[in-house]
Structure 1
């Protein structure tokens, strides 16, 4: 859907779309009122390309906040069709700066339009390519559902994942224990889920990931579990963190008197990250939380540091290392980097696997200065709470990716 009152600009945008995707239905509107009538009638729109300087009605002059006003209505009015993605487009740099915060808040972006420069074209083409790949990913036949693997490290995580499955069966291969079950939501069979509790540490996670990919050839593989928060103002107990990147904090060179970090980092699948970026803004995923808790959890993107040492104090030796070299880290855990590294190194036969790490916050790193013995500060329920919320967000992402 293109909402823009400038005919020559609309023609150029159309050309970019038709060049990138064949047999695409394009809806064109020249003002807000026209666009709203379309959004009331349509059930699904993949992409909205929205002019910022937009008239409210036909034969009116454009208003500098016309596009932002329409965006606000799309967000607030549930009866309007909400596009999967929105790109703002404007030739006015001052309007771009004003609009950026409104679009970024929802996980969308604003591009500068200049008919002589192709940057805006590349932004639209990249988004269209993502849409095309998503459509292929969702093309599930009536009698076929996708196979997805979910790995966990410990028992509470495993049980939280297992609670979302029906028709659970043993699915052992070569003396390695797996269970399989069906994930259903709203009466629809979404996917066959293979689950395994593989133990703590990155080395175990890497080995189990490689093995599961070879055994089951999944379209998607996730690592779901708990983590400790370094930034409790951003991630409290029960909150979910989806990492935009994962550091290995143990990469480096140890000399006699110092440690010189050699950062290693892994990113996760773009399509899944984009989906998490959108769904974190909604509360719908919380409907999949199995337990009842006093705290209201949130989900957000963040950065995780991963290593084979359990970190309990913010200013421990490893804690200080993370502060020095990886200070943007929001949470710490012990398996995500090994998992992501293993998937990212797949060959051509399995390189298109979608993969992600979803963590619930079960602990806040201690920042006390007291050096004596301290009692366990974490209530017993927090492992279950964090495992539950992480599993809920993971299955919500699966639902969003693979629903028919």
Structure 2
């Protein structure tokens, strides 16, 4: 049983998983299979402590991600969980930027009536502690050197909401894009897994959780050939920012093994002399008692 604090990084796509693993280097690690899911375990040495860092591949879409995150929390009981990967950019975000989510909108909830679609927004906040830390990490700017050692300056980091749903949105004039602008106008990125991840953590308030996304495209500029270049870059930047958060996070002390119970006290009680009597007993966990009777021999001396 490890005494290290545990963090879990979940990635929906293989390119995102590979980005995190690559930044962790080629240090020894292990894999474990639990409930059919394969997890990769690393020891991540941060500024204040070392972490047991668990990598998990969740798969795409909110439903699948929600189930995978809930399972990871049950299996590993982490203090920190981050969903890390790529996303489409909204508003002023551009390819290569990072979005550290302050909350995640579920943009698909609503009521379909004869008068039209009535939006019913749903939003889940990310961890306040991680949001505060993200602000500090982005101000310092050193995080980019983990991903790009020769970078002159870090890309912009947007501390804004993310809109999340099951649709692949490929045009800024599409019906879904219009709905997002009308009802979720402050969102800076769009993904397909963030809301599911945060929804899975509603029943785990002790887990500090957030979503970190690298912008790999914008709605009017989706191209599969371009994705082969921009997705690895965006995933690597998101991974570098997430690891910088973990590097600065101050964990709660891990549960130490229970101390052994102190030995039960031993008392010798007796009576000596002509006609003497003694009553003895023992009380408490593990206590034992014994009464010994011996003939009394009186010694008068020479």
| Fold conserved between structures, TM > 0.5 | yes
Aligned to 1:162: 21
Aligned residue for 1:93? Answer: none
Partner SS state of residue 227, structure 1: strand
Higher relative contact order (CA 8 A, sep 6+): 2
Decide whether aligned partners of structure 1 residues 380 and 257 sit closer, same or farther in structure 2, where only a CA change above 3 A counts.
farther
Q: CA shift at 1:240, angstroms?
A: 0.8
> For 1:388 and 1:292, how far apart are their aligned partners in 2?
14
> What residue is the counterpart of 1:358 in the other structure?
212
Q: Say whether 1:262 aligns with 2:123.
A: no
DSSP 3-state at the match of 1:344 = coil
Residue 259 of structure 1: CA displacement?
Answer: 1.1
* Pick aligned residue for 2:67 from 185, 207, 228: 207
- Alignment of 1:383 with 2:231, yes or no, is yes
Matches of 1:278 and 1:333, distance apart in 2? 25
1:190 is displaced (CA, Å) by 2.6
How far, CA to CA, are the matches of 1:333 and 1:375 in structure 2?
A: 16
Q: Determine if the alignment matches structure 1 residue 251 to structure 2 residue 109.
A: yes
Question: Kindly tell me: are residues 379 and 288 of structure 1, through their superposed partners in 2, closer, same or farther at Cα, counting changes over 3 Å?
Answer: same
* 8 Å CA contact retained: 1:153, 1:199: yes
Q: Quick one: distance in 2 between partners of 1:202 and 1:379?
A: 22
Tell me the secondary structure at the aligned position of residue 99 of structure 2.
strand
Q: CA shift at 1:258, angstroms?
A: 1.8
CA distance in 2, matches of 1:144, 1:324: 48
Q: Is the 8 A contact 1:224 1:358 kept in 2?
A: yes
Q: Work out the number of aligned pairs and report it.
A: 249
Aligned in 2, Cα 1:377/1:175: closer, same or farther, shift over 3 Å?
A: closer
Q: Partner residue of 1:198?
A: 58
Q: Match for residue 150 of structure 1?
A: 9
1:147/1:218 contact within 8 Å kept: yes
Distance 1:204 1:375 in 2: 25
2:94 and 2:218 in contact (8 A); partners too: yes
| Displacement of 1:185 | 5.0
Question: Is contact 2:19-2:239 (8 Å) kept?
Answer: yes
Q: TM-score, normalised by structure 2?
A: 0.76
Specify the SS of the correspondent of 1:280: helix
TM-score, length of structure 1 as denominator length: 0.58
Matched, 1:218 2:87: no
What displacement does 1:352 show? 0.9
Query: For the residues of structure 1 that align with 2:243 and 2:236, how far apart are their CA atoms?
Result: 11
Q: Which runs of 4+ in 1 moved over 4 A?
A: 290-296, 374-377
Kept after mapping to 1: 8 A contact 2:144/2:154: no
Question: CA–CA distance in 1 between the matches of 2:74 and 2:223?
Answer: 44
Q: Is the 8 A contact 1:246 1:266 kept in 2?
A: yes
Long gaps (5+) in structure 2: 254-302
